[in-house]
Structure 1
């Protein structure tokens, strides 16, 4: 794999000619939305196909997969645009395999809200081991309250061999965690019992594979109570055959340019769970200092620490997919960053004829621009180099896997990198009917 950084004067056509890859394939594989006006510093992933196949009359996705001894899921990962289709077309070319050096298998998870665009979800599911559905809030009465009906998401996940995970937190509709509810849960055993029972009944009734608990407000003073709660919960969930993981946000100070994290004794928690997701997820608008979210230099410090106290096979690295736009000057606690897609960030740079800069320590791109009102902004986002650096940490540290916040937008480059670096574990047998996808009328 080569990550090409666009230089002054280059076009999508000159890059295509240089690497001998058709323009339409470069655009498809990278999700490029500004092909006629590339931004200087924009990244383009170059991976040469190993086997290409031209669709013939009578072919289906299943028949092509069987002919080349690959799974239909692998074909969808190599050609995600096919997920939007009901049919294959005679004469079109699809990728059977890419020239990769994959040696490791990891599990991948993605967070989704119930209102996710179904076409985005269907394109993403082939890349996932787990789908964490962000839908349930723990109440102070010990109940878990659903925001919406999640039945369709659960069934779609299983259709693609993806294990659905129930996510439980105290986070409100506004994206704010309730410190009061969290305190009551940690300090009230009877409340814990009710909450665990409600969660267990939901797991069974809905057909979830397991539970993902957001462990909020960990401190040096309460970590033993968190451990006691998880010990009780895991004994019950494991006895019923459910997987249990926790999500923690180790970042403790984002109000300065120097990001830090709390060095808590996570070993007290790891014995009771199947995995710990370490993530800096911003549930709503963020008021933090303009910077890369979870920069790679800080990630390495975090992984060096947690890998020294808990088994590496229980560590799951959280990666974020959004870009953030701050209006300057930044005022601590008052300046809120707005969320944007990485493609939108690139478009802003291209439209304003601004070169994208890159912070080597953070492994993240950024640039400054002025809006129509003359206000100065700074955008930090992710590109192919960013994703490659973060995804590579899973193999470097021999981690259990990666967890993506969020999959509400389909980020082609991120998933392309994961797909060309790793074999993706599937725990459930797929019942994907879309594998039929005939050339003519829809029958297998």
Structure 2
């Protein structure tokens, strides 16, 4: 795999000629939104195909997979644009296999809300081991409230071999964690039992594979109560064959000179769960300080600590796929950033004629631009180099896998990079 960074004078045709890959395939594989007006600093992932196939009359995805001794899901991972349509076109070329150096399999988790566009979900599912559905809110009395009907999502996940996971949190519908509800749950065993039983009933009824419990702002004062709750939940869920995970957003504090995190003994929690997802999602805040979303140099400090408290094979590295656009000057608590995808960021840079820069320690892309009202903006985003660096941490730390917040939009380059580095674990016997 090569990550080409667009230089002055580069065009999509010159890049195509240099790497001997058709323009149409470069665009499809990278989801390039601006092929006729590339931005300086934009990334394009180059992976040479090992086996190509030209579609013949009567071919189906299944027949092509069978002929080449691969799975249909592998074909969809290598050609995700095929998920957008029901037919194959005679004469079109699809990739059977890429030239890659995959050495291991990882598990992947994708978080989604129930209102995800079905086309986006279907395109994402071949890349997922687990689909975590963010749809259930716990009350202080142990009841569980669901926001939307997620029956179709659960069935689609199973159709594609992704294990559907029920996520339970104390977040309000506005996305704010309710500390009073959390306190009441953690300090009332009878409420915990009600909550566990209600979750169990939902999992049975809807056919979930397991549960993912979201906990925020874990401190040294609350960790013992959380551990006791997880112990109760673990005994009940595991006795019925359900997998139990916990999503943790390590509390970080940032000042002008450094970023720190509270060193908590997370081993008290890990013994009761099958996986711990360390999420960098707490940095993905629209009112946050303009910066890279969990810079790799700071992330390493956290991971170095984590691997000494939790067996690495239980850990998932949480990655957020979004970038943010801030108007300047930034006013703490008042300036609201706009969440954007990498393709959004690329188009902004291209339309404004500004180069995309790259911060090496943070492994994140950024640039400044001035809008039509003459207001200066700064954009921080993740490009192919950013995703490559974070995906590489999974192998470096021997983690179980990657967790993506969220899959509400399909990040073509991100999945392309993951697909070239790792095999994707499947739990439901479909691949």
Indicate the TM-score class for this superposition, using the shorter chain for normalisation. over 0.9
CA contact (8 A) 1:176 1:284 kept: no
**Alignment partner, residue 372 of structure 2:** 372
Within 1, Cα distance between the matches of 2:174 and 2:282? 12
Q: Using the alignment, how far apart are the partners of 1:113 and 1:61 within structure 2?
A: 29
Distance in 2, Cα, partners of 1:118 & 1:108? 19
How far apart are 1:65 and its partner, in Å? 0.8
Tell me the residue number matched to 1:346: 346
- Within 2, Cα distance between the matches of 1:159 and 1:257? 49
Segments ≥4 residues shifted beyond 6 Å: none
What is the number of residues matched between the two proteins? 431
Match of residue 88 from structure 2: 88
| 1:184 corresponds to 2:181 | no
Match of 2:281 in 1: 281
Alignment of 1:247-262 (within 5 A): 247-254=247-254, 256=256, 258-262=258-262
TM superposition shift of 1:429: 2.6
What does 1:31-50 align with in structure 2 at a 5 Å threshold?
Answer: 31-50=31-50
Equivalent-residue separation in structure 2 for 1:167 and 1:359 (angstroms): 34
Distance 1:307 1:282 in 2: 20
Cα shift at 1:254:
4.2
**TM-score for both structures, normalised by structure 2:** 0.98
Deviation digits for residues 28-66 of structure 1 (CA, Å, limit 9, x no counterpart) = 000000000000000000000000001111211111111
Aligned ranges 1:20-419 → 2 under 5 Å: 20-254=20-254, 256=256, 258-282=258-282, 285-419=285-419
Q: Distance in 2 between matches of 1:201 and 1:232?
A: 16
Verify the 8 A CA contact 2:283 2:294 in the aligned structure 1: no
Report how far residue 255 of structure 1 moved. Answer: 5.7
Kept in 2: contact 1:255–1:332 (CA 8 A): no
TM (normalized to structure 1)? 0.95
Higher relative contact order (CA 8 A, sep 6+): 1
Asked if structure 1 preserves the Cα contact closer than 8 Å seen for 2:283 and 2:293, the reply is: no
Q: CA deviation at 1:284?
A: 7.7
How far 1:285 sits from its partner (Å)?
A: 4.7
Shift of 1:67: 1.0
Query: Which digits, 9 at most, give the CA deviation of each residue in 1:252-271, with x for residues without a partner?
Result: 22465633222111011110
Change in 2 beyond 3 A, CA 1:283/1:243: farther
**Aligned equivalents of 1:133, 1:303: Cα separation in 2:** 26
8 Å CA contact 1:60–1:88 kept in 2: the answer is: yes
